[in-house]
Structure 1
């Protein structure tokens, strides 16, 4: 059985990545499940894999929450990918978390290993709360906060986020 080694990199923050091995007879749904787990994504949004750029016409099918949908059933080997093939993965069509997916290698299955699996990931580099920094404090940021009126972002810790009194959207920071 062939094993595909993918490197999945956040398109806009290249320091955030995972290397994942998956068997050729496993599905994009199984790969999606592992990506959601390893990047800390919730299971309540659509996702999809694309050949080329995200939102292009060459979509392998949507993957619905819970691992359902046309794209979830496609087997990895059906895509006829070769070493060096590049895809894009999008999680949450509204927020648009886009990752670059590159096939690094096709090798042989090792006995006793459970696939799919994360074999390597980036080292965590903490981001610090921007409001706390202004006060000379060093507090790890947990959320990316988007302010609708100002159309701006900042990264905040839990206590600082609770003090916001304007309309905003917040997502947990992925490391």
Structure 2
């Protein structure tokens, strides 16, 4: 079976926003570093900043597989998926950005044998986005998907102030804002 490989299918869910998830396929011969990169892409995280780490159980309650540094120069980067010895139904955890502690639960849904291809790792599914609209555009009877939350205004007004890119740049340019993940 030289032309085949084991393909792992994982459901990666935001730990504190459980309705936000991505389904990812990755061959067992690829590494946690490869898995880290596809998770960063799938959730629109910065690819060149912040440490991350995978954990065999609850994050921080047990020792992880090693920190992953963007660029691949750390211990956790080189460990292969198949070396973790997961079975269907197993759950591991992943933390992106130790400062913000963006946690994820990762459930192994299946392992299949497939023909080798260059198409992995890849995202094969995601939650149906529940879009919210820019409040500035709504005042002008336009429905534009909000892509940012102005944290400064949200704190001041004690509610979420949601904005599109244009309104953020025009009216909240100097405010601290965070990208909305759908």
The structure 2 residue matched to 1:25, chosen from 13, 25, 29, is: 29
Q: Is the 8 A contact 2:154 2:161 kept in 1?
A: no
- Check if 1:67 corresponds to 2:72: yes
For residues 59 and 151 of structure 2, the distance between their equivalents in structure 1, rounded to whole angstroms, comes to 22
TM normalised by structure 2 equals: 0.80
Provide the alpha-carbon RMSD of the alignment: 2.6
Q: 5+ residue gaps in structure 1? A: none
| Normalised TM-score (structure 1) | 0.83
Q: What is the rounded CA distance, in whole Å, between the counterparts of 1:66 and 1:120 in structure 2?
A: 26
Tell me which protein shows more helix as a share of its residues.
Answer: 2
- Counterpart in 2 of 1:79? 84
Matches within 5 A, 1:12-161: 12-43=16-47, 44-112=49-117, 114-130=119-135, 132-133=137-138, 138-147=143-152, 150=155, 153-161=160-168
Structure 2: gaps spanning 5 or more residues? none
Runs of 4+ with deviation above 4 angstroms: 130-137
CA distance in structure 1 between the partners assigned to 2:167 and 2:117 by the alignment? 47
Provide the rounded CA distance (Å) in 1 between the counterparts of 2:118 and 2:105: 26
Inter-partner Cα distance in structure 2 for 1:68 and 1:154: 39
How far residue 98 of structure 1 moved from its aligned partner, in angstroms, is: 1.6
Larger radius of gyration: 2
Kept in 2, the 8 Å contact 1:49–1:89? The answer is yes
How many residues align structurally? 174
CA distance in 1, matches of 2:140, 2:147: 18
> Given that residues 153 and 161 in structure 2 are in contact (C-alpha distance below 8 angstroms), is that contact kept between their aligned partners in structure 1?
no
